Amino acid sequence: MPDKVFPVSSDDALKRLDIFLSEKAGLSRSQAKKFIDAGKVTVSGSPAMKPGEKLKEGDIITLPDGAAHISEARWLAPEHIPLEILYKDDYIIVVDKPAGLVVYPAVGHPGGTLMNALAFYTGGKLATIGAPLRAGVVHRLDKDTSGVIVVAVNDKAYYGLLSQFKDRMVSRSYLALVHGKPAQAEGVINLPIGRSISDRKKMSVRSRAGRQALTSWKLIESFSQKTASLVEARLGTGRTHQIRVHMASAGHPVLGDSTYGRKTSIEFRGGKILIPRQMLHARTLGFKHPISGEQLEFSSPLPEDMAGVIEKLRGLGL
């Protein structure tokens, strides 16, 4: 059996190595400690020094083939889930992800994910980096965020994409419906993001270990009585929940965001408009093909649920 390889994403940066392995490889912490202490776990090619070693984004953790049996129960089962595939070759696959689809299996979502679908559409031919559950995943979208996402199909493509994300060479624009109306027509939010001090399940601009986060935004349209606005947001960095956290910190949380905003309806005289999910859509994604070097850009039209909410807001008048 091949070694198991797990890349460290921004979500996992600063985690202890033993905790990271227990989460990704299905080990207990004591099992992870035994492998680490025996010198059988490597971090970016070098033997791990201690179980409490703090990881950095971009680190590659390798688990020896002697531990391969621990991952068999976490095999990525192919599932025939309908997908809108925007581009596919032997190196990458680009998908227009619908809202409600989780990117990869995790606790609470053992199947029915984008990765299960890609295992079906590629015949199981995915990158080994991040296998079995996150094979070729270089970035992700939240379950309730729709839009364009790219996944590497082989390891060379994975490293090529990963370097572009790390070097901020990837262009990403989002459309978001937010609460209220910003005072300016555009702006830049430059606030570090890290785990919330009060709730470790949330991200926050108030954190003891925040990392640089940069979001540029532009007002596209505002609606009745300044109840809501449509904004375009562009990522300068790629932190967990970045747009959601930054817009909430500016006083304009994404509509339907139950974690950072809780604005699930727009009330007006005579009724209310229900918000079906967080109104965030990854509209465009641009990058160089990791093998050919060709500049590629993909776009996704506004999904029906967001378009429907916008039409209802417009119908209220100014």
Tally the C-alpha atoms within 13 A of residue 42's C-alpha that lie toward its C-beta. Answer: 10
Tally the C-alpha atoms within 13 A of residue 293's C-alpha that lie toward its C-beta. Answer: 0
Residue 71's Cβ-count burial label (10 Å; 0-12, 13-18, 19+) is buried
What is the spatial distance between Cα 127 and Cα 151, in angstroms, rounded to a whole number?
A: 9
Quick check: helix, strand or coil at residue 214?
A: strand
Tally the C-alpha atoms within 13 A of residue 203's C-alpha that lie toward its C-beta. Answer: 23
From 157, 239, 229, select the one nearest 196 (Cα to Cα). 239
Residue 243's φ and ψ, nearest 5 degrees, are -65, -40
From 42, 26, 5, select the one nearest 155 (Cα to Cα). 5
Tokens of 279: 């109104």
Q: Which residue out of 142, 144, 257, 305 is catalytically annotated?
A: 142
Which segments of 110-197 does DSSP mark as H helices, in order?
A: 114-121, 155-166
Mark whether 37 is an active-site residue.
Answer: no
Structural element, H or E, at residue 136:
none
Tokens of 79: 């599932």
Tally the C-alpha atoms within 13 A of residue 279's C-alpha that lie toward its C-beta. Answer: 32
What is the spatial distance between Cα 7 and Cα 104, in angstroms, rounded to a whole number?
A: 14
Residues marked active site are found at 142
